Chains A and B, each alone.
Chain A
Amino acid sequence: MTHLAFVAVAYVLGIGIPIAYALAAWQRVGAARRKLAAIDPRGQRP
C-alpha cells in the first residue's frame, strides 16, 4: 500500500474529530439534563 502513513493519519483525524465532537455533545446534553431535572419546577410536579 502506497503512502500508508498519510492515509492512516487522515482516517484517524476523519474518524476521531467527529467522534470527539459527538462525545462532547452527548456529555453536554447529559449534564444539562441532570441539572435541569434538579432545578426545574415542572419536573417536580406529581
Chain B
Amino acid sequence: MSPADYQQGDAVRIMYVHVPSAWLATAGYSGLALCSVASLIWRHPLADLAAAEIGPVGAGFTALCLATGSLWGKPMWGAWWVWDARLTSVLVLFFLYIGHIALVRAFDDPTRGYRAGAILALVGVVNLPVIKFSVDWWNTLHQPASIKLTGSATMAPEMLWPLLICAIGYTLAFATIVTMRTRAAVMERRIRGLLMARAASDPGA
C-alpha cells in the first residue's frame, strides 16, 4: 500500500485519482484536436463521430480533475478553489469541452455542427500549453510538475508506481469508453440512413 505523505498525510491519496484525470483531460482534448484536423482536412466521417464522442468523456474527466483538486485543496490549502493559473486554465478547458459538446449538437445539419466544433477545438488547442506551463510561467499555488519527460521524477518510487498504474488504468478506461461510444454512434448513423432510405422508398407509409 502506498504510504501517507509526511506533510499531506492520507490526503496525498487523492493524487492517484486527480493526476490521471488531469492527464486524460488534456490528452483527450489533444485527441479531439487531432480528430478535428482529420475532419477539416480529409472530411473523414469517423473523425467527426469520434470528436463528438470524445467531448462528453473529456468533459467528465475534466470535471473529475477539478472536483478531486478541490477535495485536495480544502484540507491542504484551506480553500476549495483559488483563481490560480493552473486551476483557471483547466476550468477554461472544461468550458471548451462544454462549448464543443453544445456546438456540435446546435445545428440541424450535423455536418455544419461537426465543422463548427472542429474549428472551436482547434482554437482551444492554444490552452493546452497554457495548462502545461502555467506553473512555470506564473507564480502559482499549484505545485510544479513532479514527473518530467526530460528528467527524473521528484517523487518517491512508492508513490510513483501506484500513480503510473492508476494512470494506465484510467487511460484504458477512457479509450474503452470513447471506442464504445464511437461504435454506438456509427451504428446509430447507419440506423438513421436505413430509416431515411426506407421512408424515401415508401413515402405513403
Whether B173 contacts A18 by the Cβ 8 Å rule is: yes
Does B145 sit within 8 A of A, measured CB to CB? Answer: no
Name the A residues within 8 Å of B32 (CB-CB).
none
Q: How far is the CA of A9 from the CA of B76 in the complex (A)?
A: 16
Q: Does A3 contact B (CB under 8 A)?
A: yes
Partner of B177, one of A6, A18, A35, A40: A18
Instruction: Tally chain A residues at the interface, Cβ within 8 Å.
Output: 27
User: What's the dominant secondary structure at chain B's contact region?
Assistant: helix
Assess the A32–B184 pair: CB atoms within 8 A. Answer: yes
- Interface contacts beyond A3-B9, A6-B14: sample of 13 additional A-B pairs, CB < 8 Å, sorted by A: A4-B10, A6-B72, A6-B75, A7-B71, A10-B18, A10-B71, A11-B13, A13-B68, A17-B60, A18-B177, A21-B60, A32-B184, A39-B198
Binding site for A on B (CB under 8 A): 4, 9-11, 13-14, 16-18, 21, 57, 60-61, 63-64, 67-68, 71-72, 74-75, 170, 173-174, 176-177, 180-181, 183-184, 187-188, 190-191, 194-195, 198
